[in-house]
Chains A and B, each alone.
Chain A
């Protein structure tokens, strides 16, 4: 964000403004001197014609005086802006180095939140810089247009009044190429002062499937985001103990957005037998999901994440319901906020109780009543339970409840990494699913990993806009050459033009062949090389 600041041309412009101010001041002083000489021989007090002429001259002198002061003030304002942004760059640079170290250490971010702390520091620097920029911007003067106007022009000599004399000024575009918004953050705060954050479109999806326990579908907010599919244990957690037990097949397409980076998570109560579970909170249930759109509170400039996605600001408690995230599943199909990408979600193997409308669906918007869950008949004739979730039933140990990202986060527990889906995490780690009786498999971001998703090693992926610097301890070696280069030189050279997944020397597989351009003739001609010339005998 500040990588390209402290531009030498920006500094030169400060000097140019000051030079311009000096030139205008010199012109003004010269006109004042010329006026003094003129009125000495052509006093306006005694000649009306001189008064008319000198009035125009005085007007120009006044304008030049104002313009000189404005140019000087604008130079100061520009200097303040450039200095503030350059200062932020200087302050953030070491943080970026720390971030690269932290992002490659053995401790993942979701465990120690080290990257988040660094990002928070960087955000603070940017907030301070933006305030300084806003203060300095008030010094940028926008003068009213000057028009050289002659009034009371008679017919002799024939002429007309004048307006603008010369060409227009320097008209430049406003460059605005902000870094892509990070998950859960808006790219730009329009007014530049309030920093109001508004949730965007829902993104991300998760599908949980399993038996017993409960499923958690929820992906932390991400702008863009492909649907993620996670298969986890089914079951239910509810205020009224909607868990019916048994093998509940649940699917929850999690998705929410919020510039604050927080999002709800879906906890789907499963039904007995082959019933489908429902995703709640930030997740939009594929089978029975309730999407949530969270809106982060305003407060300060939204910087869209300086280094890494901000930590979700979830409230404590197990209740995964986002303030506006819960909804009631309707048999008529998707409704309300939280739109699941078309075709998102995944077919639920063995899940008889998918949404009545079929396939993945976005459900949500309407906060559910705090009372009993809403039961919706599924297409398979089995009920789907979607309802408000609150306290976990006593039968379920709290430790088995995975913390939901966003408003439904369980306080005091290890939070999921950004965009984590339980099934995804389980599958990636090769371990057991969280809070499930039956292990599940899953993956997130089946169509392009959601920006909020984590890598297989549990670390937050590097934002695409960050410099492609090497990270980790080896980066120092890379920078200094030597070992790193020797190490890389010993490796098998990688051909960047090879398609991913192909080995050198392997024939390229193509879907179908193409018509040959050069082919042998079809007339059966033979080639006669002629008699032997060397070593010919007799």
Chain B
């Protein structure tokens, strides 16, 4: 294994740790805090019969749904990238692949990390359903 490969694996490992830390420090607590207020839904125009206000309420509800869903996806995507980087770094340390094989492995590692994150989410959701309220938890998957 050449020095270049070693540098790649170290860099990937550092990247993984940095992304995990940044995600846990920035977007996840930010989204969790924002949800305290955003979960209350549409808070204007309840008794307003105007069509313009009604349209605004519908659009706001749609914005809330789409934006929050995407934020969750971003958090998970960041976790997937971090996990994939860890996996790729481990592979680089163990094997000596061709360039094409390494590309395949990277893509496969990303997909595998995505599956793993989804499984982590399912486990976290199950745990929340058993013993906790989701609003008191952080937005990231159980690790």
Indicate whether A and B interact: yes
Chain A interface residues (CB < 8 Å from chain B): 1-5, 7, 9-10, 12-13, 15-17, 19-20, 22-24, 26-27, 30-31, 33-34, 37-38, 40-42, 47-50, 52-53, 56-57, 60, 63-64, 67, 70-71, 74, 77-78, 81-82, 85, 126, 130-131, 133-134, 136-137, 140-148, 150-162, 164-179, 181, 187-193, 195, 301-304, 465
Contact in complex: A169, B61 (CB < 8 Å): no
Interface centre among B11, B31, B53 (most CB of A within 10 A): B53
| Known pairs A23-B34, A27-B26, A148-B76 / 13 extra A-B pairs, C-beta < 8 Å | A33-B18, A34-B18, A56-B77, A60-B78, A130-B53, A151-B107, A159-B111, A162-B111, A166-B121, A170-B64, A174-B57, A189-B51, A192-B50
Q: Which residues of A contact B141 (CB under 8 A)?
A: 166
Q: Which residues of B contact A192 (CB under 8 A)?
A: 50-56
- Inter-subunit contact A85/B48 (CB<8 Å): yes
Least CB distance from B86 to A in Å reads: 12
Instruction: Tell me which residues across on chain B come within 8 A of A190, comparing CB atoms.
Output: 51
**Chain B 50-80 interface residues, beta-carbon cutoff 8 Å to A:** 50-78, 80
Residue B96 at the A interface, CB < 8 A? Answer: no
Evaluate contact between A133 and B56: CB separation under 8 angstroms.
yes
Measuring CB to CB, which residues of chain B are less than 8 angstroms from any residue of chain A? Answer: 7-8, 10-12, 14-15, 18-19, 22-23, 25-27, 29-31, 33-78, 80-81, 84-85, 87-88, 99-100, 102-112, 114-115, 117-118, 121, 125, 141
By the criterion CB–CB under 8 Å, are B49 and A181 in contact? Answer: yes
Describe B's contact surface by its main secondary structure: helix
Contacts of A133 in B (CB 8 A): 45, 50, 52-53, 56
- Give min CB distance, B7 to chain A, whole Å: 5
Compute how far the CA of A5 lies from the CA of B107 in the bound complex, rounded to whole angstroms. Answer: 51
Q: Given the interface contacts A31-B19, A167-B121, does A13 sit within 8 Å of B111 by beta carbon?
A: no
Closest A residue by C-beta to B35: A170
In the complex the two chains form, is A193's CB within 8 Å of B78's CB? no
A contact residues around B50 at 8 Å (CB): 126, 130, 133, 188-189, 192, 301-303
Give the docked Cα–Cα distance between A465 and B112 (Å).
58
A residues less than 8 Å from B38 (CB atoms)? 13, 16-17, 20, 170
Instruction: Report yes or no: B75 in contact with A166, Cβ–Cβ below 8 A.
Output: yes
Question: Cα distance A177–B42 when bound, in Å?
Answer: 12
Contact of A141 among B67, B110, B115 (CB under 8 A): B67
Bound together, the chains give a CA A244 to CA B61 distance in angstroms of 64
Listed from nearest, the 3 A-B pairs whose CB atoms lie closest are A23-B30, A169-B69, A192-B51
Alpha-carbon gap, A33 to B117, bound state (A): 23
The answer to whether A60 touches B33 (Cβ under 8 A) is: no
Q: Is the beta-carbon distance between A140 and B60 smaller than 8 angstroms? A: yes
Q: How far is the CA of A171 from the CA of B69 in the complex (A)?
A: 9
Please report the C-alpha to C-alpha distance between residue A170 and residue B105 in the assembled complex, in whole angstroms: 35
Check A49/B72 contact, CB under 8 A, given A170-B35, A172-B65: no
Question: A residues within 8 A CB of B22?
Answer: 26-27, 30-31, 34
Complex Cα gap A38–B11 (Å):
6
B15, B55, B64, B108: the one within 8 Å of A154 (CB): B108
- Give 25 pairs: A residue, B residue, CB < 8 Å, sorted on A: A5-B44, A16-B37, A23-B26, A34-B22, A42-B11, A42-B12, A53-B106, A56-B110, A74-B67, A81-B45, A81-B56, A142-B66, A145-B66, A154-B107, A157-B108, A162-B80, A165-B80, A165-B118, A168-B69, A169-B70, A172-B42, A174-B54, A174-B57, A192-B52, A192-B53
Q: Is the CB of B70 within 8 A of A156?
A: no
Chain B residue at minimum C-beta to C-beta distance from A49: B102
Among A15, A153, A304, find the residue whose CB has the most chain B CB atoms closer than 10 A: A153
Q: Does the CB pair B54–A175 fall under 8 Å?
A: no
CB-based contact A13/B43 at 8 Å: yes
> Which residues of the other chain, A, contact B46 by a CB distance below 8 angstroms?
4, 175-177
Structural contact, B47 and A169, CB atoms closer than 8 A: no
Please name the residue on chain B nearest to A144 by beta carbon.
B66
B48 and A167 contacting across the interface, CB-CB below 8 Å:
no
In the complex, the answer to whether A67 meets B48 with C-beta atoms within 8 Å is no
